[in-house]
């Protein structure tokens, strides 16, 4: 299979990136300084990530808001103002999660969607089957740069006086070096930061300009994953699948109150009745954070046991948490064992590693809310 390349591919190689296949793309997993260095630099100053593999879509035309409301459990019609963003889930009839995405309103009936790279084709096909006069445009020629960290606002000031005023989950259009871009105050690291949607033809020039700032360091997928895990954020294919519902995943907060049972526009999205029942009855398994005793890491797919040795769950994501100084993980375990401090065991290469249920996020989130 031929891997796709992002507009920044040549720059990654020039910077000495280690490239790996990911979601059909050849992507930088790390640069010569290494994942831990990139992780800590992002927490301390500012990391620049290439996330151009993500799907960037524009849905527009009469009825676009209503169409989105029929697919996601979010108040789009009345609850999302222009240039505001919302986290959303595509759900199926069984209440499972098809994908998670970010929706930004660009006008009364115009929306900018960012979907996961691994689900991009499926999401596009899914949306296309529901179009009824609307237009879906895939921004194939655009890159997406994520500037993340406490110094990101200082850096973004150099290219956009409007973007520096944004609060978390807001966006604005801008002109950078004579080219129109769209900048949002969002990201996947738990830090203040921005995502910049930019035409691919000028993406490398913008990336070089940002990397020319002393505070900015290139960061790859490895650091992006460890940062998001410390922030307690879900990754599709790990914490989210078609077999996992929003209640299990701890994402009930993403269901707008007006769309919940008894709300002004209750239901109307796939699997609504199933999800409403689970909000009352509670699924047997739910997502928790785990801190590992000692320095030996655990891995995705390893079994979680109670202290008597009975299997009670499974690891869905794990990494070395550079900001917290040790191995961490997320797992789905039996609900009654999910209280913080509960002692459990993880089966790793024939040994039982002690772990403790830990509140998430593991590292405090620093979103700028004004």
Cα–Cα distance for residue pair 55/64, rounded to 1 Å: 18
- 46-50 and 216-219 beta bridge pairing: parallel
| Confidence class for position 158, pLDDT limits 50, 70, 90 | very high
Q: Which CATH number fits domain 285-361: 1.10.3210.10, 3.50.50.60, 2.40.30.110, 3.30.1050.10?
A: 2.40.30.110
Q: What is the pLDDT of residues 23-65, one digit of tens each?
A: 999 999 999 999 999 999 999 999 999 999 999 999 999 999 9
Q: Dihedrals φ, ψ of 207, to 5°? A: -60, -40
Cβ atoms within 10 Å, residue 299: 14
Rounded distance, CA 353 to CA 348, Å?
7
Instruction: List, in order, residues 6 or more apart from 129 with CB less than 8 Å away.
Output: none
pTM score > 0.75 for this model?
Answer: yes
Given a cut of 80, whether residue 1 has pLDDT beyond it is no
Nearest to 221 by CA among 176, 188, 270: 188
Beta bridge mates, 208: none
Is the preceding omega at residue 369 within 30 degrees of 0, hence cis? no
Tell me which DSSP letter residue 224 carries.
Answer: H
Please state, as a whole number, how many other Cβ atoms lie within 10 Å of the Cβ of residue 3: 14
Report domain extents, the chain.
1-283, 285-361
CATH topology of domain 1-283: Gyrase A; domain 2 (3.30.1360)
What are the helix (H) ranges across 243-352? 272-281
- Please report how many Cα atoms fall inside a 13 Å half-sphere around the Cα of residue 289, on the Cβ side: 21
Express each pLDDT in 171-199 by its tens digit.
999 998 899 999 999 999 999 999 999 99
CA 260 – CA 244 distance, rounded (Å): 18
Per the document, the length of the chain is 370
- Residues forming beta bridges with residue 361, ordered by sequence position: none
């Amino acid at each position: 299979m031929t891997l796709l390349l992002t507009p920044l591919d040549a720059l990654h190689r020039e910077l000495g990136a280690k490239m790996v296949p990911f979601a059909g793309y050849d992507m930088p997993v790390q640069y010569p300084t290494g994942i831990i260095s990139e992780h800590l630099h992002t927490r301390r100053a500012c990391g620049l990530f290439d996330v151009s593999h993500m799907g960037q879509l524009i849905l527009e035309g009469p009825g676009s808001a209503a169409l989105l409301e029929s697919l996601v459990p979010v108040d789009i019609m009345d609850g999302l103002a222009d240039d505001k963003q919302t986290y959303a889930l595509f759900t199926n009839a069984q209440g499972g999660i098809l994908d998670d995405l970010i929706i930004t309103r660009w006008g009364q009936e115009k929306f900018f969607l960012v979907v996961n790279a691994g689900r991009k084709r499926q999401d596009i096909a899914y949306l296309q089957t529901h179009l009824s006069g609307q237009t879906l445009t895939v921004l194939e020629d655009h890159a997406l740069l994520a500037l993340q960290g406490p110094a990101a606002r200082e850096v973004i000031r150099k290219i956009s006086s409007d973007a520096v005023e944004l609060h978390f989950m807001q966006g604005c259009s801008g002109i950078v070096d004579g080219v129109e871009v769209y900048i949002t105050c969002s990201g996947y690291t738990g830090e203040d930061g921005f995502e910049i949607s930019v035409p691919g033809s000028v993406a490398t020039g913008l990336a070089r300009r940002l990397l020319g700032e002393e505070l900015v360091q290139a960061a790859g997928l490895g650091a992006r994953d460890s940062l998001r895990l410390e922030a307690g954020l879900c990754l599709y294919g790990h914490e989210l699948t078609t077999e996992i519902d929003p209640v299990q995943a701890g994402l009930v907060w993403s269901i707008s109150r007006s769309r919940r049972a008894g709300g002004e526009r209750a239901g109307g999205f796939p699997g609504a009745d199933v999800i409403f029942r689970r909000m009352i009855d509670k699924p047997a398994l739910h997502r928790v954070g785990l801190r590992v005793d000692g320095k030996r890491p655990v891995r995705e797919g390893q079994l979680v046991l109670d202290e008597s040795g009975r299997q009670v769950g499974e690891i869905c994501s794990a990494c070395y948490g550079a900001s917290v100084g040790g191995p961490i993980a997320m797992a789905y375990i039996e609900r009654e064992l999910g209280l913080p401090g509960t002692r459990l065991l993880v089966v790793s290469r024939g040994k039982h590693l002690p772990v403790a249920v830990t509140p998430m996020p593991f590292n405090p989130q620093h979103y700028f809310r004004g």
